[in-house]
Amino acid sequence: MKNIFFIFSFLFSIFYFSLLAHAGLVITSRYESQADKIQSTDKAMIEKDRMRVDVSTPGNNHLMIYRADLGKMWIIDPEKKQYQELSKQEITGMMQKMQEATKRLEAQMASMPQAQREAMKKMMPQMPKPSVVTYQKKADGIKIGNYTCTLYEGFVDQKKVSEMWTTDLKALSMSPEDFAVMNSFGEMFEAISKDFTSPYKISSLGLPIRMAQYNPDGSQKHLTEVVSIERQNTDPALFELPKDFVKQSRDDFDE
């Protein structure tokens, strides 16, 4: 089951690009995690019905290819020449397995002494539980690199959890219609939670140039910032599975 958590952890790292989708774009960004002491350079290539995201960290590179026309995505490990394939049906099946495993553990724990039961709960892996974020406009005219941005603060239950600096879509010749591929991408994860589609609903605020997430104590947790946005004609082969790569079996998800 550990691979399930790796997959979803990897997917969460690319959700930022759900706010950046536009056909024929190559978007490079940098990501920093104060909590995990991780830095990465992320590159997204986005077309009308497909997307590729390369995530590069020191000593570790992975990529994701999403094909709306095929209704599936591939998570690829270039170094090992392996990939995992996921569809909406497979994600639903994995979530059902996780829920069944959790129910079995809870049934076993019911007969344990309370102290032992609490200790077991802490040891049980937990999927991140997304919350719907409400954004409030804070300031206009903030310069970030070459972009003039509007600052929005994000709140969950009246507590500030994030900040987002956006620039006008029209200034970059974009419109909400350009987000269609990400809508279908979000639909793949409805089995996890309806809230997982919430990132796809805030494109009306503009194009995110910088996003910061905060811990309950107010310290910064994650920071993502756009480095460059370019219009390019990408090679169709970049959205195909590399040759000679080996598909990992479904059994690997349960190891």
pLDDT per position as a tens digit, 117-152: 787 777 766 555 556 788 999 999 999 988 899 999
Flag whether 206 is in a domain. Answer: yes
Flag whether 254 is in a domain. Answer: no
Scan for tokens 């994030």, then name that residue. Answer: 162
Strand order in the sheet with 207-214: 134-144, 147-156, 159-167, 207-214, 220-231, 25-33, 38-46, 50-57, 60-67, 72-77, 82-87, 246-247
**Model pLDDT, residue 143:** 94
Flag whether 48 is in a domain. Answer: yes
Flag whether 45 is in a domain. Answer: yes
Which stretches of the chain drop beneath a pLDDT of 70?
1-23, 124-131, 175-180, 190-203, 250-255
CATH of the domain at 59: 2.50.20.10
Flag whether 96 is in a domain. Answer: yes
Flag whether 198 is in a domain. Answer: yes
Flag whether 112 is in a domain. Answer: yes
Flag whether 148 is in a domain. Answer: yes
CA 22 to centroid of chain Cα atoms: 17
**Model pLDDT, residue 102:** 78
**Model pLDDT, residue 201:** 45
pTM equals 0.70
Other C-beta atoms closer than 10 Å to the C-beta of 112 total 12
What range does the domain containing 183 cover?
A: 2-247
Given a contact cutoff of 8 angstroms between Cβ atoms, the answer to whether 187 and 3 are in contact is no
Scan for tokens 């490990």, then name that residue. Answer: 77
Amino acid at 30: R
What is the count of structural domains for the chain?
1
